[in-house]
Amino acid sequence: MASITPFLWFNDDAEDAIAFYASIFPDARISDVQRQNGKFFLGQFELAGQKLMALNGGPQFQFTEAISLYVNCKDQAEVDYYWDRLLDGGGKPQQCGWLKDRYGLCWQIIPEALPSLIGDPDPKKAERAMKAMLQMVKIDVAQLEAAHRGDRI
């Protein structure tokens, strides 16, 4: 059976990136590393059960927001944890729960509650939650829930 593995192209810091990601995600595994002339070339790793590959391919290509890794967080504590760790060392926060890590890879750090709040069958509740989310950089679950209820924030 076929499988899909995201393949990440780094300039020359793929090994550092893999180690960085493995230090953040519990149960991360680095399963295969290939070297050429003693230097890291290609590595396979796993984060939260998702297999990924990383290559030192040179400066021809850069990461963009056209692709991101989505981290589904159970609560605000997980949002805070992944947000802070992935920004460590030079990452840049972006709107609506998105960030770029120090390697330029885009991540979405999203609480489980967000899709149900902005997708509520009551259009007024959903709209309030969506408007609140659009004003956020890091997602704040308590503020989303308050907006969804119609509480003044």
**Which tens digits make up the pLDDT trace of 110-148?**
999 999 999 999 999 999 999 999 999 999 999 999 999
The stretch 68-86 carries a mean pLDDT of 98
The pLDDT value recorded for residue 52 is 98
CATH number at residue 73: 3.10.180.10
Q: Within this chain, do residues 22 and 81 fall inside the same structural domain, yes or no?
A: no
Alpha helices in 1-151 (DSSP H): 14-24, 76-87, 113-118, 123-134, 141-149
Show the domain range for 74: 65-153
Residues 138 and 81 in one domain: yes
Q: Are residues 110 and 44 in the same domain?
A: no
Domain total of the chain: 2
Residues 19 and 83 in one domain: no
Structure pTM?
0.94
Domain boundary among 10, 29, 57: 57
Query: What's the burial of 99, exposed, middle or buried (CB within 10 Å: 0-12/13-18/19+)?
Result: buried
